Amino acid sequence: MKRVLLSLDWILLASLLSLAALGLCVLYAAVYQGDMGLWHKQSMFWTAGMTGFLVLCFVPLRILGLVSWPMYAVGLLLLMLVPLIGDIHMGARRWLDLGFANIQPSEIMKWAMMFVLASWFATREARGLINIAIPLLLVAAPAALIVTQPDLGTTLVLLFAMVALMIAAGLPWRLFGAAVALGIASLPVLWHFMHGYQKQRVLTLLDPQSDPLGAGYHVIQSSIAIGSGGLLGKGFLQGTQARLHFLPEQHTDFIFSVLAEEGGMIAVILLLGLYAVLISRILLIAQRAHSRFASMLCIGIAAIFTLYITVNIGMVSGVFPVVGLPLPFISYGGSALVTMLAALGIVMRVAIESHERIPWQRPGSPLA
């Protein structure tokens, strides 16, 4: 116990706690005119998530390596059940009613797939046909199921994490370049298969003013909220866009605009700074990790956080189309928060184990 405490990564913990404090403040501002119950719920999610975080600090990484394949198998099975018996919610079939709880198999799959890829690349490099083809197939199966739900956000997360892990695992650049070129070339085909609402989102992104009261409304209102915040912001609880309910989904996906409106650019810089510390810390832990499996896990987690942050803020400020990804640690949402804290718990465990076993400059092979 004492050993674990001593080897905790305090910078990671400090940035996480700062984000917790900031997140709860912003959520307070987002819901205080509406349902304050949400704020209390989120506080409870934090408590639960932090407990999970602490528990995971004591779970050896070996065990994760052991459960990764079974977890992937169960995840895939559940995912296949979704089209058959899933619940339709907001026009997409994503949820599975297990009697005691509604779960989103894609959420499980996201993490399971990362564990599987990490353990795959723990002993291999992303070079050679077999080494690349098998992980591609491992991702393609769930990705195909998820994209038809439809859930573009999670699919994007899967692909992004996969690419990040492959690059970390030494994917040759020319293959990467070829994949990017192929991706761009397939855009028109993708467009053809996109759902109407997804096409609408892309079109609206290109010109939000074309539909100011419909699909463009969200982006326009959040841009107004952010822009009107200015350098210093309108003050805590003083944001008119937030207070008067002009912002859509202001406690979940669009919570960034509440922060930007009330806190101004100062708060934005603070938030992005905290994220920068958090992500670089995860990357640093990845580099210092005692095993290649641990490094890969951390890189995957850092990639997912980066994607969440980029897509969410990009969406809210009108750079990306509206894709429902949460802003890590700030957006309201229990399951997202708990899984992200669990992921950070794993990162912390990596830091702890590395601290125990490995001296500062690690000799030897990452493939050992």
Partner 1 sequence: MRNKQLEVRQRFNVRMVYFFAATPLFLGILLFQIMQLQWFEHEKYRLQADQNRLNIIPILPVRGEIIDAQGRGLAINHIDYRVSLIPERVENLEMTLHTLAQALHWTDDKVTLLRKRIKHTRPDRSVLLDDKLQWSDVSPLAARLHHYPGINVEAGSYRQYPFSELTSHIIGYLSLANAGDVEAGFLPSEFIGRTGIEKSFEAYLHGRLGHQREEVDAHGRRIAVINRKAPTMGKTIQLALDTDIQQAASDALGERTGAVVVMDVNTGGIIAMLSKPGYDTNQFITGLESAQWQEWLNNPEKPLLNRATQAAYPPASTFKLVTGLAGLDQSSQLAEGSTYCPGYVEFSDRKLHCWKRAGHETVTMHKALVQSCDVYFYQLADQLGMGVISDAALDWGLGEKTEIDLPPESRGIIPAQSPYMMAAIKSTQSRRKKWFRGETMITGIGQGALTTTPLQIARLAAAIANGGYILKPQVLAHRPTEVLHQVNVKAEHLQIVRSAMRDVVLSSAGTAHRALNQAAWTSAGKTGTAQVVKLSTKKKNKLSEEEIQRHHKDHAWFMGYAPYENPQIAITVFVEHGGHGGSDAAPVAAAIIQAMAEKQALALNQQPDKQKMFSPTVSKL
Contact positions toward partner 1, by CB under 8 A? 125, 164, 167-170, 221, 223-231, 240-241, 244-246, 260, 264-265, 268-269, 272, 275-276, 279-280, 283, 286-287, 292, 295, 299, 302, 306, 309-310, 313-314, 317-319, 364-368
Would strands 102-103 and 92-97 be described as parallel, antiparallel, or unpaired?
Answer: antiparallel
Q: How far is the CB of 306 from partner 1 (least distance, A)?
A: 6
Q: How far is the CB of 78 from partner 1 (least distance, A)?
A: 31
Q: How far is the CB of 176 from partner 1 (least distance, A)?
A: 11
CA atoms of 337 and 208, how far apart (whole Å): 30
Check: CB of residue 162 under 8 Å from CB of residue 134: no
**Closer CB to partner 1, 45 or 320, in the complex:** 320
Hey, what are 164's tokens? Answer: 């990040």
Check: CB of residue 132 under 8 Å from CB of residue 138: no
Name the packing angle between helices 292-316 and 334-357 (round to 10°).
150
Q: How far is the CB of 152 from partner 1 (least distance, A)?
A: 19
DSSP 210: G
Q: How far is the CB of 266 from partner 1 (least distance, A)?
A: 10
Residue 289 falls in which region: left (phi positive, over 0), alpha (psi -120 to 50) or beta: beta
Q: How far is the CB of 360 from partner 1 (least distance, A)?
A: 15
Question: Cis before residue 150, ω within 30 degrees of 0?
Answer: yes
Q: Give the type of residue at 126.
A: A
Residues 6 or more apart whose Cβ sits within 8 Å of residue 325: 153, 156, 157, 253, 307, 308, 311, 312, 315
CA atoms of 324 and 244, how far apart (whole Å): 23
Beta partners for residue 93, in sequence order:
88
**Closer CB to partner 1, 314 or 334, in the complex:** 314
**Closer CB to partner 1, 140 or 265, in the complex:** 265
**Closer CB to partner 1, 283 or 341, in the complex:** 283
Q: How far is the CB of 131 from partner 1 (least distance, A)?
A: 12
Return the SS3 of 133.
helix
Hey, what are 331's tokens? Answer: 């957006």
Burial of 74 (0-12, 13-18, 19+ CB in 10 A): middle
Q: How far is the CB of 88 from partner 1 (least distance, A)?
A: 27
**Closer CB to partner 1, 142 or 233, in the complex:** 233
**Closer CB to partner 1, 4 or 284, in the complex:** 284
**Closer CB to partner 1, 171 or 336, in the complex:** 171
DSSP letters for 92-116: EEEEEE-SS-EE-HHHHHHHHHHHH
**Closer CB to partner 1, 50 or 344, in the complex:** 344
